[in-house]
Amino acid sequence: MRPATRRITRRTFGQLALGALGATALAGCSRGAGGSPASPGGQQSAGGANWTPDRTLKVGIIVPQSGIYASTGTSSIHGMRLALKEFEDKGWRFEVLIEDEKADPTTGLRAVQKLIERDQVHFLLGPISSGVLPALRDPVDQAKVIMSTAQAANRDITGARCSRYIFRTTPTNYMQGYGFGGWIARNLGKKAYVLTADYAAGTEIADAIVEGFQKEGGEVITYAKAPLTTTDFAPFMGPILDARPEIVTGFFAGKNAIDVVKAFHQFGVKDRAQLAYSGYLTSNDIIEAQGAEATEGIYEYLNFSESLEQPEYTQWAQRLQAMFPEVQRVPIYSVHGYTAAKAVLLGIEQARSLRSDDIAAAMEKVEFMGPAGVIKFGPSHQATLDFYVTQVRGMKHVVVERIPQQSDPQEADCRRTWT
Protein backbone atom coordinates (compact mmCIF):
# COMPACT_ATOMS: atom_id res chain seq x y z
CA MET A 1 0.00 0.00 0.00
CA ARG A 2 1.38 3.40 -0.95
CA PRO A 3 1.65 6.07 1.74
CA ALA A 4 -0.97 8.75 2.26
CA THR A 5 1.74 11.39 2.78
CA ARG A 6 2.54 11.31 -0.94
CA ARG A 7 -0.96 12.00 -2.11
CA ILE A 8 -1.96 15.32 -3.68
CA THR A 9 -5.64 15.97 -4.15
CA ARG A 10 -6.77 16.97 -7.62
CA ARG A 11 -7.69 20.39 -6.31
CA THR A 12 -4.29 20.89 -4.70
CA PHE A 13 -2.51 19.60 -7.79
CA GLY A 14 -4.44 22.02 -9.95
CA GLN A 15 -3.44 24.91 -7.70
CA LEU A 16 0.18 23.85 -7.96
CA ALA A 17 -0.11 23.54 -11.72
CA LEU A 18 -1.49 27.03 -12.10
CA GLY A 19 1.31 28.41 -9.96
CA ALA A 20 3.94 26.55 -11.96
CA LEU A 21 2.53 27.62 -15.31
CA GLY A 22 2.55 31.17 -14.04
CA ALA A 23 6.24 30.74 -13.20
CA THR A 24 5.58 31.52 -9.55
CA ALA A 25 7.08 29.09 -7.09
CA LEU A 26 4.82 28.17 -4.20
CA ALA A 27 6.24 29.22 -0.89
CA GLY A 28 6.73 26.90 2.02
CA CYS A 29 6.47 23.53 0.21
CA SER A 30 6.56 20.77 2.77
CA ARG A 31 9.57 18.47 2.64
CA GLY A 32 8.95 15.73 5.14
CA ALA A 33 9.83 12.06 4.94
CA GLY A 34 8.09 11.82 1.58
CA GLY A 35 7.25 8.54 -0.05
CA SER A 36 7.80 6.70 3.21
CA PRO A 37 6.52 3.14 3.17
CA ALA A 38 5.92 1.23 6.37
CA SER A 39 9.23 -0.60 5.81
CA PRO A 40 12.28 0.24 3.70
CA GLY A 41 10.97 -2.12 1.03
CA GLY A 42 13.84 -4.47 0.35
CA GLN A 43 15.95 -7.39 1.41
CA GLN A 44 18.62 -6.01 3.72
CA SER A 45 22.26 -7.03 3.49
CA ALA A 46 25.61 -5.88 4.74
CA GLY A 47 26.24 -3.69 1.69
CA GLY A 48 24.01 -1.54 -0.49
CA ALA A 49 25.32 -3.19 -3.65
CA ASN A 50 23.71 -6.49 -2.61
CA TRP A 51 20.34 -5.01 -1.70
CA THR A 52 17.33 -5.95 -3.82
CA PRO A 53 13.84 -4.39 -3.50
CA ASP A 54 11.19 -6.85 -2.36
CA ARG A 55 8.65 -5.49 -4.85
CA THR A 56 8.29 -4.41 -8.45
CA LEU A 57 9.32 -0.76 -8.82
CA LYS A 58 7.04 1.47 -10.85
CA VAL A 59 9.05 3.81 -13.06
CA GLY A 60 7.31 6.85 -14.56
CA ILE A 61 8.88 8.18 -17.77
CA ILE A 62 7.86 11.56 -19.20
CA VAL A 63 9.35 12.18 -22.65
CA PRO A 64 8.09 13.28 -26.08
CA GLN A 65 6.53 10.48 -28.11
CA SER A 66 5.05 12.72 -30.79
CA GLY A 67 5.78 16.04 -32.48
CA ILE A 68 9.15 17.55 -33.43
CA TYR A 69 11.01 15.91 -30.53
CA ALA A 70 9.55 12.40 -30.85
CA SER A 71 12.89 10.88 -31.87
CA THR A 72 14.60 12.38 -28.82
CA GLY A 73 12.10 10.67 -26.55
CA THR A 74 12.67 7.28 -28.14
CA SER A 75 16.45 7.65 -27.87
CA SER A 76 16.16 8.68 -24.23
CA ILE A 77 14.02 5.65 -23.42
CA HIS A 78 16.68 3.40 -24.95
CA GLY A 79 19.24 4.70 -22.46
CA MET A 80 16.82 4.37 -19.54
CA ARG A 81 15.96 0.80 -20.52
CA LEU A 82 19.65 -0.11 -20.60
CA ALA A 83 20.13 1.19 -17.05
CA LEU A 84 17.06 -0.72 -15.87
CA LYS A 85 18.37 -3.87 -17.58
CA GLU A 86 21.60 -3.67 -15.60
CA PHE A 87 19.57 -3.83 -12.39
CA GLU A 88 17.15 -6.44 -13.71
CA ASP A 89 20.22 -8.63 -14.18
CA LYS A 90 20.75 -8.29 -10.42
CA GLY A 91 17.20 -9.43 -9.66
CA TRP A 92 15.32 -6.12 -9.61
CA ARG A 93 11.84 -5.94 -11.16
CA PHE A 94 10.33 -2.92 -12.91
CA GLU A 95 7.01 -1.80 -14.36
CA VAL A 96 7.67 1.02 -16.81
CA LEU A 97 4.92 3.58 -17.48
CA ILE A 98 5.57 6.05 -20.32
CA GLU A 99 3.71 9.32 -20.85
CA ASP A 100 4.02 11.68 -23.84
CA GLU A 101 4.89 15.18 -22.65
CA LYS A 102 4.53 16.54 -26.24
CA ALA A 103 6.97 19.37 -25.32
CA ASP A 104 3.90 21.06 -23.82
CA PRO A 105 3.73 22.13 -20.13
CA THR A 106 0.00 21.49 -19.72
CA THR A 107 0.33 18.00 -21.17
CA GLY A 108 3.37 17.38 -18.98
CA LEU A 109 1.43 18.39 -15.87
CA ARG A 110 -1.38 15.99 -16.69
CA ALA A 111 1.17 13.24 -17.22
CA VAL A 112 2.78 13.88 -13.84
CA GLN A 113 -0.60 13.90 -12.15
CA LYS A 114 -1.44 10.52 -13.66
CA LEU A 115 1.91 8.96 -12.80
CA ILE A 116 1.93 10.22 -9.22
CA GLU A 117 -1.75 9.96 -8.32
CA ARG A 118 -3.13 7.05 -10.30
CA ASP A 119 -0.06 4.97 -11.08
CA GLN A 120 1.75 5.63 -7.77
CA VAL A 121 5.21 5.46 -9.34
CA HIS A 122 8.28 5.12 -7.15
CA PHE A 123 10.28 7.66 -9.18
CA LEU A 124 10.14 9.78 -12.35
CA LEU A 125 12.53 10.07 -15.29
CA GLY A 126 12.27 13.11 -17.56
CA PRO A 127 11.14 15.43 -18.95
CA ILE A 128 13.19 16.28 -22.03
CA SER A 129 11.66 19.65 -22.92
CA SER A 130 12.89 22.77 -21.12
CA GLY A 131 9.44 24.16 -21.81
CA VAL A 132 7.88 21.45 -19.63
CA LEU A 133 10.22 21.15 -16.63
CA PRO A 134 9.35 24.46 -14.89
CA ALA A 135 5.69 23.45 -14.70
CA LEU A 136 6.56 20.11 -13.07
CA ARG A 137 8.89 21.37 -10.37
CA ASP A 138 6.37 22.37 -7.70
CA PRO A 139 3.99 19.38 -8.07
CA VAL A 140 6.92 16.94 -7.92
CA ASP A 141 8.44 18.69 -4.92
CA GLN A 142 5.09 18.78 -3.11
CA ALA A 143 4.48 15.08 -3.80
CA LYS A 144 7.99 14.23 -2.55
CA VAL A 145 8.73 11.97 -5.50
CA ILE A 146 12.27 11.59 -6.85
CA MET A 147 12.63 13.00 -10.37
CA SER A 148 15.81 12.67 -12.42
CA THR A 149 15.59 14.91 -15.46
CA ALA A 150 16.65 13.30 -18.72
CA GLN A 151 17.42 16.40 -20.77
CA ALA A 152 15.44 19.50 -19.71
CA ALA A 153 18.06 22.05 -18.79
CA ASN A 154 16.41 25.11 -17.18
CA ARG A 155 19.01 26.76 -14.99
CA ASP A 156 16.80 27.65 -12.04
CA ILE A 157 15.75 24.04 -11.39
CA THR A 158 19.21 23.46 -9.93
CA GLY A 159 19.46 27.11 -8.91
CA ALA A 160 16.89 29.27 -7.14
CA ARG A 161 14.14 26.63 -7.56
CA CYS A 162 16.22 23.63 -6.48
CA SER A 163 14.39 20.78 -4.76
CA ARG A 164 15.32 18.00 -2.42
CA TYR A 165 13.73 15.53 -4.84
CA ILE A 166 14.99 16.74 -8.27
CA PHE A 167 18.38 15.71 -9.68
CA ARG A 168 20.09 16.40 -12.99
CA THR A 169 22.92 14.31 -14.47
CA THR A 170 22.69 16.32 -17.69
CA PRO A 171 23.89 19.90 -18.34
CA THR A 172 22.00 23.11 -17.81
CA ASN A 173 21.40 25.32 -20.81
CA TYR A 174 24.14 27.66 -19.61
CA MET A 175 26.66 24.81 -19.43
CA GLN A 176 25.85 23.96 -23.05
CA GLY A 177 26.87 27.39 -24.29
CA TYR A 178 29.22 29.48 -22.17
CA GLY A 179 32.45 27.56 -22.67
CA PHE A 180 31.73 27.23 -26.39
CA GLY A 181 31.24 30.97 -26.83
CA GLY A 182 34.74 31.70 -25.62
CA TRP A 183 36.20 28.94 -27.78
CA ILE A 184 34.41 30.31 -30.88
CA ALA A 185 35.86 33.80 -30.35
CA ARG A 186 39.37 32.44 -29.83
CA ASN A 187 39.32 30.02 -32.75
CA LEU A 188 36.73 30.90 -35.41
CA GLY A 189 36.20 34.66 -35.51
CA LYS A 190 34.84 37.72 -33.75
CA LYS A 191 31.65 38.56 -35.69
CA ALA A 192 28.64 36.33 -35.03
CA TYR A 193 25.03 36.09 -36.14
CA VAL A 194 22.73 34.30 -33.69
CA LEU A 195 19.81 32.27 -35.06
CA THR A 196 18.21 30.15 -32.36
CA ALA A 197 15.00 28.35 -31.43
CA ASP A 198 12.51 30.61 -29.67
CA TYR A 199 11.92 28.79 -26.38
CA ALA A 200 13.72 28.27 -23.07
CA ALA A 201 16.52 25.99 -24.28
CA GLY A 202 17.11 27.99 -27.45
CA THR A 203 17.41 31.36 -25.78
CA GLU A 204 19.25 30.23 -22.64
CA ILE A 205 21.89 28.34 -24.65
CA ALA A 206 22.26 31.17 -27.17
CA ASP A 207 22.56 33.71 -24.35
CA ALA A 208 25.30 31.62 -22.74
CA ILE A 209 27.18 31.35 -26.04
CA VAL A 210 26.91 35.12 -26.46
CA GLU A 211 28.16 35.73 -22.91
CA GLY A 212 31.26 33.62 -23.43
CA PHE A 213 31.77 35.00 -26.94
CA GLN A 214 31.60 38.64 -25.87
CA LYS A 215 33.88 38.03 -22.90
CA GLU A 216 36.57 37.06 -25.42
CA GLY A 217 35.99 40.18 -27.53
CA GLY A 218 33.34 38.85 -29.90
CA GLU A 219 30.62 41.03 -31.45
CA VAL A 220 27.05 39.85 -32.09
CA ILE A 221 25.70 41.44 -35.26
CA THR A 222 22.12 40.18 -34.96
CA TYR A 223 20.19 37.98 -32.52
CA ALA A 224 17.26 36.29 -34.30
CA LYS A 225 14.78 33.71 -32.96
CA ALA A 226 12.74 31.17 -34.92
CA PRO A 227 9.48 29.77 -33.50
CA LEU A 228 9.37 26.04 -32.74
CA THR A 229 6.64 25.72 -35.36
CA THR A 230 9.01 26.87 -38.14
CA THR A 231 9.32 24.41 -41.01
CA ASP A 232 10.56 26.79 -43.72
CA PHE A 233 13.78 28.56 -42.72
CA ALA A 234 14.24 30.31 -46.07
CA PRO A 235 13.12 33.72 -44.72
CA PHE A 236 15.91 33.59 -42.14
CA MET A 237 18.69 32.95 -44.64
CA GLY A 238 18.70 36.26 -46.55
CA PRO A 239 19.36 38.43 -43.47
CA ILE A 240 22.27 36.18 -42.49
CA LEU A 241 23.85 36.45 -45.92
CA ASP A 242 23.35 40.21 -45.93
CA ALA A 243 25.03 40.57 -42.51
CA ARG A 244 28.14 38.67 -43.68
CA PRO A 245 29.09 37.19 -40.28
CA GLU A 246 32.12 35.01 -39.66
CA ILE A 247 30.07 32.65 -37.48
CA VAL A 248 26.42 31.63 -37.20
CA THR A 249 25.52 30.16 -33.81
CA GLY A 250 22.66 29.23 -31.47
CA PHE A 251 20.58 26.13 -30.74
CA PHE A 252 18.22 23.88 -32.68
CA ALA A 253 17.24 20.25 -32.14
CA GLY A 254 14.97 17.59 -33.59
CA LYS A 255 12.97 18.40 -36.73
CA ASN A 256 13.92 22.08 -36.46
CA ALA A 257 17.59 21.13 -36.71
CA ILE A 258 17.01 18.99 -39.80
CA ASP A 259 15.22 21.84 -41.56
CA VAL A 260 17.63 24.63 -40.61
CA VAL A 261 20.75 22.63 -41.57
CA LYS A 262 19.23 21.91 -44.97
CA ALA A 263 18.48 25.63 -45.37
CA PHE A 264 22.03 26.63 -44.37
CA HIS A 265 23.31 24.32 -47.11
CA GLN A 266 20.72 25.16 -49.77
CA PHE A 267 21.12 28.94 -49.48
CA GLY A 268 24.92 28.92 -49.21
CA VAL A 269 25.18 30.15 -45.62
CA LYS A 270 27.36 27.17 -44.75
CA ASP A 271 29.83 28.15 -47.50
CA ARG A 272 30.17 31.75 -46.34
CA ALA A 273 30.28 31.43 -42.53
CA GLN A 274 31.37 28.91 -39.95
CA LEU A 275 28.42 27.11 -38.35
CA ALA A 276 29.10 26.65 -34.63
CA TYR A 277 26.08 25.34 -32.71
CA SER A 278 25.17 23.59 -29.51
CA GLY A 279 25.68 19.88 -30.10
CA TYR A 280 22.12 18.96 -30.97
CA LEU A 281 22.22 20.53 -34.42
CA THR A 282 23.52 17.35 -36.07
CA SER A 283 22.95 14.84 -33.26
CA ASN A 284 23.19 11.20 -34.22
CA ASP A 285 19.44 10.62 -34.25
CA ILE A 286 19.01 13.11 -37.13
CA ILE A 287 22.33 13.43 -39.00
CA GLU A 288 21.36 10.79 -41.57
CA ALA A 289 18.28 12.84 -42.49
CA GLN A 290 20.48 15.92 -42.96
CA GLY A 291 23.09 14.26 -45.14
CA ALA A 292 26.88 14.29 -45.42
CA GLU A 293 27.20 17.37 -47.63
CA ALA A 294 24.96 19.57 -45.47
CA THR A 295 26.66 18.62 -42.19
CA GLU A 296 30.34 18.45 -43.16
CA GLY A 297 32.51 20.89 -41.22
CA ILE A 298 29.91 22.06 -38.68
CA TYR A 299 31.35 22.76 -35.22
CA GLU A 300 29.38 21.71 -32.16
CA TYR A 301 29.65 21.56 -28.37
CA LEU A 302 28.31 18.81 -26.16
CA ASN A 303 29.13 16.63 -23.16
CA PHE A 304 29.47 13.63 -25.49
CA SER A 305 30.91 12.47 -28.79
CA GLU A 306 30.66 9.04 -30.41
CA SER A 307 34.35 9.49 -31.27
CA LEU A 308 35.37 9.10 -27.62
CA GLU A 309 37.81 6.23 -27.37
CA GLN A 310 37.63 5.62 -23.63
CA PRO A 311 36.58 2.04 -22.78
CA GLU A 312 33.71 3.21 -20.57
CA TYR A 313 32.04 4.64 -23.65
CA THR A 314 32.87 1.95 -26.18
CA GLN A 315 31.72 -0.87 -23.89
CA TRP A 316 28.54 1.00 -22.99
CA ALA A 317 27.77 1.71 -26.67
CA GLN A 318 28.20 -1.97 -27.50
CA ARG A 319 25.67 -2.90 -24.80
CA LEU A 320 23.21 -0.27 -26.02
CA GLN A 321 23.42 -1.42 -29.64
CA ALA A 322 23.14 -5.07 -28.63
CA MET A 323 19.92 -4.29 -26.76
CA PHE A 324 18.60 -2.00 -29.53
CA PRO A 325 20.02 -3.22 -32.87
CA GLU A 326 18.19 -0.46 -34.72
CA VAL A 327 20.55 2.12 -33.13
CA GLN A 328 23.27 2.61 -35.73
CA ARG A 329 24.54 5.92 -34.34
CA VAL A 330 24.50 6.49 -30.58
CA PRO A 331 22.62 9.74 -29.79
CA ILE A 332 23.24 11.99 -26.81
CA TYR A 333 19.67 11.44 -25.65
CA SER A 334 20.45 7.79 -24.92
CA VAL A 335 23.49 8.82 -22.87
CA HIS A 336 21.37 11.27 -20.89
CA GLY A 337 18.52 8.81 -20.40
CA TYR A 338 20.98 6.24 -19.11
CA THR A 339 22.69 8.50 -16.56
CA ALA A 340 19.36 9.91 -15.36
CA ALA A 341 18.04 6.42 -14.61
CA LYS A 342 21.26 4.97 -13.22
CA ALA A 343 21.69 7.79 -10.70
CA VAL A 344 18.29 6.99 -9.16
CA LEU A 345 18.86 3.24 -9.18
CA LEU A 346 22.24 3.62 -7.47
CA GLY A 347 20.62 5.95 -4.94
CA ILE A 348 17.93 3.38 -4.13
CA GLU A 349 20.52 0.62 -3.90
CA GLN A 350 22.82 2.59 -1.63
CA ALA A 351 19.95 3.84 0.54
CA ARG A 352 18.57 0.28 0.76
CA SER A 353 15.19 1.93 1.00
CA LEU A 354 12.26 3.14 -1.09
CA ARG A 355 11.71 6.21 1.07
CA SER A 356 12.14 9.32 -1.07
CA ASP A 357 14.11 11.18 1.60
CA ASP A 358 16.48 8.23 2.01
CA ILE A 359 16.95 7.95 -1.75
CA ALA A 360 17.62 11.69 -2.09
CA ALA A 361 20.21 11.61 0.69
CA ALA A 362 21.95 8.64 -0.95
CA MET A 363 21.86 10.22 -4.42
CA GLU A 364 23.74 13.24 -3.08
CA LYS A 365 26.68 10.88 -2.40
CA VAL A 366 26.41 8.84 -5.61
CA GLU A 367 29.41 8.92 -7.93
CA PHE A 368 29.75 6.74 -11.00
CA MET A 369 31.43 6.63 -14.39
CA GLY A 370 28.93 7.41 -17.13
CA PRO A 371 29.51 6.78 -20.84
CA ALA A 372 31.17 10.18 -21.30
CA GLY A 373 32.62 10.93 -17.86
CA VAL A 374 32.11 10.90 -14.11
CA ILE A 375 28.66 11.74 -12.71
CA LYS A 376 28.65 13.37 -9.28
CA PHE A 377 26.14 15.84 -7.85
CA GLY A 378 26.82 19.21 -6.28
CA PRO A 379 24.78 20.70 -3.41
CA SER A 380 22.05 21.91 -5.80
CA HIS A 381 21.77 18.40 -7.35
CA GLN A 382 23.45 19.49 -10.59
CA ALA A 383 26.27 17.38 -12.02
CA THR A 384 29.50 19.02 -13.20
CA LEU A 385 30.40 17.73 -16.68
CA ASP A 386 33.20 17.64 -19.23
CA PHE A 387 32.36 19.06 -22.67
CA TYR A 388 33.81 18.48 -26.12
CA VAL A 389 34.15 20.80 -29.11
CA THR A 390 33.58 18.61 -32.16
CA GLN A 391 33.57 19.04 -35.92
CA VAL A 392 31.54 16.90 -38.31
CA ARG A 393 33.91 15.01 -40.60
CA GLY A 394 32.49 12.26 -42.74
CA MET A 395 29.27 12.14 -40.68
CA LYS A 396 31.20 11.65 -37.41
CA HIS A 397 31.63 14.15 -34.58
CA VAL A 398 35.41 14.29 -34.24
CA VAL A 399 36.68 15.75 -30.97
CA VAL A 400 38.65 18.96 -31.53
CA GLU A 401 39.10 19.99 -27.89
CA ARG A 402 37.94 18.95 -24.43
CA ILE A 403 36.55 21.68 -22.14
CA PRO A 404 36.62 20.12 -18.65
CA GLN A 405 34.46 20.50 -15.55
CA GLN A 406 31.75 22.85 -16.76
CA SER A 407 29.28 24.09 -14.15
CA ASP A 408 26.59 26.75 -13.81
CA PRO A 409 27.08 29.82 -11.56
CA GLN A 410 23.34 29.87 -10.81
CA GLU A 411 23.84 26.75 -8.70
CA ALA A 412 24.90 29.19 -5.99
CA ASP A 413 21.31 30.51 -5.93
CA CYS A 414 20.06 27.20 -4.48
CA ARG A 415 18.96 27.72 -0.88
CA ARG A 416 18.78 24.23 0.55
CA THR A 417 15.86 23.90 2.98
CA TRP A 418 16.85 20.32 3.78
CA THR A 419 19.89 18.80 5.50
Q: Are residues 69 and 104 in the same domain?
A: yes
Burial zone of 27 (CB within 10 Å; 0-12 exposed, 13-18 middle, 19+ buried)? exposed
Per-residue pLDDT averaged across 201-223, rounded?
A: 96
Q: Is residue 332 domain-resident?
A: yes
For the stretch 38-72, pLDDT in tens is 345 655 444 456 799 999 999 999 999 998 788 88
Q: Is 189 left (phi over 0), alpha (psi -120 to 50) or beta?
A: left
The answer to whether residues 248 and 286 belong to one domain is: yes
CATH number at residue 162: 3.40.50.2300
Task: Mark whether 25 and 109 lie in a shared domain.
Answer: yes
Range of the domain at 357: 4-172+312-385+409-413
Residue 40 has a pLDDT of: 56
Contact 392, 295 (CB under 8 A): yes
Distance CA 295, CA 193 (A): 19
Query: Is position 20 within any domain?
Result: yes
The answer, yes or no, to whether residue 168 has pLDDT greater than 60, is: yes
Instruction: Supply the DSSP symbol for 377.
Output: B
Tell whether 403 is covered by a domain.
no
CA angle 367, 373, 98 (to 5 degrees): 75
Looking at the fold, whether 26 and 55 belong to one and the same domain comes out as: yes
Q: Does 251 fall in a domain?
A: yes
Domain match, 165 and 219 both: no
Is this structure's pTM higher than 0.85? no
In a domain, residue 404? The reply is no
CB 101 within 8 A of CB 107: yes
Among the candidates 302, 322, 352, a domain finishes at 302
pLDDT tops 90 at residue 10:
no
Which of these three, 257, 273, 302, is where a domain ends? 302
Instruction: Name the CA dihedral angle for 20, 413, 220, 217, rounded to a multiple of 10 degrees.
Output: -170
Element (H, E) at 133: helix 133-143
Residue where one domain finishes, among candidates 254, 281, 302: 302
d(CA 267, CA 285): 24
Query: How does pLDDT run across 251-266, given as a tens digit for each residue?
Result: 999 899 999 999 999 9
Does position 23 have pLDDT exceeding 90, yes or no?
no
Handedness of CA 101, 105, 108, 110 (dihedral sign): negative
Contact of 265 with 355, CB cutoff 8 Å: no
- The answer on 142 and 40 residing in a single domain is yes
Up-side HSE of residue 286: CA atoms within 13 Å toward CB? 27
Do 262 and 113 share a structural domain? no
- Report the chain's mean pLDDT, rounded to a whole number: 89
58 found inside a domain: yes
**Number of domains the chain is built from:** 2
129 and 8 assigned to the same domain? yes
- Distance (Å) of CA 166 to CA 72, 122, 263, 271, 414: 21, 13, 38, 43, 12
pLDDT at 73: 93
For residues 17 and 125, membership in a common domain is answered with yes
